[in-house]
Amino acid sequence: MNQTQTSSGPILTTDGIPLKVSLKKAERINKIRAFLLVLPLLAFILITFLVPIGDMLARSIDDRQINTVFPKTFEVYKKWDRQGLPSEEVYKTMFFELKNSEGYSVGKASTRMNYSKSGWKSLLKKSKRKFKKIEEGPYKEKMIAIDKKWGDPEYWLAIGQMVDPTTMGYYLNAVDLKYDSSKNVVQQKENRRIYNKTWIKTFKVSLLVTLFCLLLGYPISYLLATLPMKYSNLLMICVLLPFWTSLLVRTVAWMVMLQQKGVLNNLLVMSNLLEDENRFQLMYNQTAVVIVMTQILLPFMVLPLYSVMKTISPTYMRAALNLGASPMHAFYKIYMPNSVPGVSAGCLLVFIIAIGYYITPELVGGKDGQMVGNWIAYHLKTTLNWGLCASLGAILLAMMTVLYWAYNKIVGIENIKLG
Amino acid sequence: MRKAIKAAFFGLISMAFVGSAIADITFVSWGGAYTASQQKAYIDTYDKGSSITVENYNGGLGEIKAQVEAGNVTWDVVDVLPDQAITGCDEGLFAKVDQSEFLNDLVVPPVSECVVPQIFWAYTAFYDKAAFPGKKPKNIKDFFDVKKFPGKRGIHTWANALIEMALVADGVKASKVYEVMSTPEGIDRAFAKLDTIKDHVVFWSSGSKPLELVSSGEVVMALAYNGRIGAAILSEGKNFEYIWDATVLEQEYLVAIKGGNEAEALAFMAHASSAASNAEQAKYIPYGPMRKSSIDIIKKGEPWFVKEGGNIDILPHMPTTPKVLKRAVIGDPVWWADNGAEVHERFGAWKGS
């Protein structure tokens, strides 16, 4: 009886604390230690990766710049029926909010308003300067007298898109749509429809580059993996040497090679294979972007392919041939399936790098080789429309996530190997 | 031992403070021959010049906005284009400056309260004399006339200046260009004119490219920054000829970044924008000074351009002589600040279609 009691009661350690509690404590300390060990990495990822991405996503829908400058105007604006011009009350509120605004808020607001309707920027600036001299109404007439844009309903209607603190406007903008004055989604003006074409082009170029990299990279990697060491080392250097060369140097070298009066065209003309006036247009267009990017990204395909192929034992192929398979059949049935993890890794890597490429299209893209990255750079630097940049970037991110998800469904992510 | 380390440590800290008391500002500009001319004209001649760090950038306000928003300003004085001078000043990225010293001495009024004058530069059409042994192109109409002067044209990948030039080539007076551009039909008209050369253009995006294009014969005529053309003629002995018609003049300013070393930055900018400094710069690069008195200094000092084996007259290469100004378009940064994004998107669509 006594014995059963001790065994069913809690097991105690020598200092009288139940073993379970003591163990838990020890475990907790270990857990904290482990956590502290990964804390620097976690903090690093949080600060350098998650926070900027979060900030970017927030920027892509944030629309508060104007709400803080013209809050009262928005209140009275909401009552307007969007027919003709707004009432004197709207003009008056706008007048005082603009006149009494301080600091740089108007500058920032006018930049934002200019995205909705070109012309707001100078209108607000000029008006703020001239409003100082106006003491009393009627404000509507006086404002229109200062600048006739105040009498243009288009400008007033454009405000309607900015009344809410958040907006989907940047995302719409990124796919050639926009809000009309009553917040319906409509197509962008025809001659400004540029982003859908750019998206398709970006996809097309990235896919082509990935495909060409695979076509060129597969045989090279096969040779690298199967040749005797002394030859394969030499070949490896040939792959790595351009990889170590500056991106700009390689791009400019291609410019010299491919331009109309460049090395390639000159050789063809000199050897009478090409008429002087029919020189190939291989530079400053989409073809140039595909050629140059393929060369630049090739090592990203070759290296994962090579490291996977290196692990495929040559005995498999020998066994297949021994069992009577034709070389083609053996390759198709044995070698290729074994190299799939390398192919997936290479393709995913090349595609991901290609889709956000910027500098090469900028240099050799010319008239039709500009990709999404180039537009992001333009808005980031010149128009300061960071909301649009953020939405373009977010769409890129979303597309990559979808791609990753689809890839996981079809091939399986465990089937990816870098070596 | 420990004491010695401590002493050395404090010594280092105090040195850092002494260091920042000299000038210790970072000057950011576009690089190449242009920055070299700034270095010679007013960094080397500044008494605290040796403590100025020079960096290059590619224009735009992106980096500056990021620095100011993050409260970590590492640039102090930046060389900016006029539309950026306007936007940056409006958004509070730049410090305001005292402009009384030069206000009445400028060719055009300053675009904002944050700037001191630098130079005028220009988009100019040019060709290699060897490309046209017979009749030579004389005006912007000829640039847009591929029947009269067959061959490819080199133009830049953005819309600024191209719209203006297309309209002048289509018969609009240089002084009326922005009036026409402010109507939707005006922009349509410019794009219609651009359509006529669309199949004959090669695009460039970096300033040295049009010179290469013309030198190699890839194109017969190109638009370029006048300073680059001048440098090729003056320093490399190229056989280029300007087409001084519908030259689009652009302003260039210096600004001080808010939250940087403002006091030192403003002191340096006062030196850099003096009439003497503005004139001095033209010794090394053929961009036009913005100050009237600087042009007088150059006129009196000709031959002004410094070259080994004897100086050369610089005024024939300047975009601000009366002869050129008569047929030039003075770029309107306010128009571009308003309409730049829209026109640029349309230009992008035009390029790609």
Tokens of A412: 């399986």
Q: Is the pLDDT of residue B4 over 70?
A: no
Do B93 and B258 meet the contact criterion of CB atoms below 8 Å apart? yes
pLDDT value for A4: 47
- Judge if B44 and B131 occupy the same domain: no
pLDDT value for B13: 52
Q: If pLDDT is split at 50, 70 and 90, which confidence band does B9 have?
A: low
B174-202 mean pLDDT: 94
Q: Is the pLDDT of residue A160 over 70?
A: yes
Least confident window among A291-300, B4-13, B264-273: B4-13
What is the number of other CB atoms lying within 10 angstroms of the CB of residue A393?
22
CA-to-CA dists, residue A410 to A370, A414, B175, angstroms: 31, 11, 63
- Judge if B136 and B174 occupy the same domain: yes
Q: Is the pLDDT of residue B162 over 90?
A: yes
Domain that holds residue B246: 122-250+322-352
Question: Across the interface, do B346 and A261 touch by the CB < 8 Å criterion?
Answer: no
A326-338 mean pLDDT: 91
Q: Is the pLDDT of residue B251 over 90?
A: yes
Q: If pLDDT is split at 50, 70 and 90, which confidence band does B341 have?
A: confident
pLDDT value for B23: 59
Tell me which chain B residues have a C-beta less than 8 angstroms from the C-beta of A261. Answer: 216-218
B225 vs B252: CA distance, rounded Å? 13
Q: Is the pLDDT of residue B19 over 50?
A: no
Residue with tokens 């970096």: B206
- Judge if B243 and B255 occupy the same domain: no
Q: Which is nearest to B331 in space by CA: B201, B105, B159?
A: B159
Q: Is the pLDDT of residue B14 over 70?
A: no
B9-24 mean pLDDT: 52
Tokens of B244: 């001084």
Least confident window among A179-183, A210-214, A229-233, B100-104: A179-183
Do A108 and A66 meet the contact criterion of CB atoms below 8 Å apart? no
A305 vs A343: CA distance, rounded Å? 6
Tokens of B299: 């006129």
Q: Is the pLDDT of residue B18 over 50?
A: no
- Judge if B137 and B54 occupy the same domain: no
- Judge if B230 and B148 occupy the same domain: yes
Tokens of B256: 């001080």
Query: Over pLDDT 90: what percentage of chain B?
Result: 58
Question: Across-strand partners of B288?
Answer: B120
CA-to-CA dists, residue A241 to A235, A255, A305, B223, B272, angstroms: 10, 19, 18, 37, 45
Do B172 and B160 meet the contact criterion of CB atoms below 8 Å apart? no
> Is the model more confident about B169 or about A16?
B169
Question: Across the interface, do B341 and A385 touch by the CB < 8 Å criterion?
Answer: yes
- Judge if B42 and B137 occupy the same domain: no
Tell me which chain B residues have a C-beta less than 8 angstroms from the C-beta of A103. Answer: 92
Beta-carbon contacts of B139 under 8 Å, excluding residues fewer than 6 positions away, are B243, B245, B246, B327
- Judge if B74 and B198 occupy the same domain: no
- Judge if B327 and B216 occupy the same domain: yes
Question: Across-strand partners of B202?
Answer: B154
- Judge if B189 and B131 occupy the same domain: yes
Beta-carbon contacts of B132 under 8 Å, excluding residues fewer than 6 positions away, are B149, B220
pLDDT value for B236: 87
Distance to chain B for A9, nearest Cα, Å: 60
Do A373 and A356 meet the contact criterion of CB atoms below 8 Å apart? yes
- Judge if B339 and B305 occupy the same domain: no
Do B264 and B21 meet the contact criterion of CB atoms below 8 Å apart? no
What is A23-69 written as a DSSP string?
A: HHHHHHHHHHHHHHHHHHHHHHHIIIIIHHHHHHHHHHHB--TTTTT
Residue with tokens 């284009």: B81
Question: Which domain CATH number covers B18?
Answer: 3.40.190.10
Q: What is the CA radius of gyration of chain A?
A: 32
Least confident window among A306-320, B298-312, B320-334: B298-312
A143-166 mean pLDDT: 87
Select the residue from B203, B345, B353 to test the A interface by mutation, using most A Cβ atoms within 10 A: B345
- Judge if B78 and B190 occupy the same domain: no
Q: Is the pLDDT of residue B11 over 70?
A: no
- What's the mean per-residue pLDDT of chain B? 89
A175 vs A168: CA distance, rounded Å? 11
Does residue B217 sit at the A interface (CB-CB below 8 Å)? yes
Question: Across the interface, do B205 and A120 touch by the CB < 8 Å criterion?
Answer: no
- What's the mean per-residue pLDDT of chain A? 88
Most confidently modeled range among A134-138, A182-186, B115-119: B115-119
pLDDT value for B17: 46
Beta-carbon contacts of A189 under 8 Å, excluding residues fewer than 6 positions away, are none
pLDDT tens readout for residues A228-254: 988 999 999 998 898 889 988 999 899
Residues of B numbered 57-76 whose beta carbons fall under 8 angstroms of chain A's beta carbons: which are they? 58-62, 65
| Burial (Cβ within 10 Å: 0-12, 13-18, ≥19) of residue A56 | middle
What is the number of other CB atoms lying within 10 angstroms of the CB of residue A401?
10
Beta-carbon contacts of B255 under 8 Å, excluding residues fewer than 6 positions away, are B77, B78, B80, B85, B88, B89, B94, B95, B114, B115, B116
Q: Is the pLDDT of residue B307 over 90?
A: no
pLDDT value for A8: 60
Question: Across the interface, do A367 and B344 touch by the CB < 8 Å criterion?
Answer: no
Distance to chain A for B269, nearest Cα, Å: 23
Q: How many CB pairs under 8 A join A and B?
A: 104
pLDDT value for A107: 83
Beta-carbon contacts of B67 under 8 Å, excluding residues fewer than 6 positions away, are B73, B74, B75, B257, B259
B149-163 mean pLDDT: 93
In terms of DSSP bridges, do strands B115-128 and B240-256 run parallel, antiparallel, or are they unpaired?
antiparallel
Helix axes A195-226, B333-352, angle to 10 degrees: 60
pLDDT value for B305: 85
pLDDT tens readout for residues A27-59: 999 999 999 999 999 999 889 989 999 999 999
A19 vs B142: CA distance, rounded Å? 96
Query: Among B90, B203, B342, whose Cβ lies nearest the Cβ of A118?
Result: B342
Count of the separate structural domains present in chain B:
2
Q: Is the pLDDT of residue B1 over 90?
A: no
- Judge if B232 and B263 occupy the same domain: no
Residue type, A28: R
pLDDT tens readout for residues B49-95: 888 999 999 888 989 999 998 889 999 999 999 988 988 898 889 99
pLDDT value for B343: 92
Query: Helix, strand, coil % (nearest 5) of chain B?
Result: 50, 20, 35
pLDDT tens readout for residues A57-99: 999 998 887 778 888 888 888 888 888 889 898 999 999 988 8
Does residue B339 sit at the A interface (CB-CB below 8 Å)? yes
Least confident window among A199-203, A366-370, B66-70, B127-131: A366-370
Ranges of H-type helices in A147-273: 153-159, 169-174, 195-226, 229-244, 247-258, 263-270
Establish whether this prediction's ipTM goes over 0.90. no
Give the number of C-alpha atoms closer than 13 A to the C-alpha of residue A243, restricted to the C-beta side. Answer: 13
Q: Is the pLDDT of residue A13 over 80?
A: no
pLDDT tens readout for residues A178-207: 888 777 899 988 888 899 999 999 999 999
B216 vs A105: CA distance, rounded Å? 50
Tell me which chain A residues have a C-beta less than 8 angstroms from the C-beta of B345. Answer: 192, 194
Q: For chain A, which residues lie within 8 Å of any Cβ of chain B, measuring from their own Cβ? A: 103-104, 106-108, 110-111, 114-115, 118-122, 125, 191-194, 197-198, 201, 259-261, 284, 362-363, 366-368, 370, 375, 378-385
pLDDT value for A408: 83
Domains of chain A: 2-61 (no CATH), 71-167 (no CATH), 197-415 (1.10.3720.10)
Ranges of H-type helices in chain B: 2-22, 32-38, 62-70, 82-90, 140-143, 162-169, 177-181, 184-195, 209-216, 226-236, 262-272, 275-281, 292-301, 322-326, 333-352
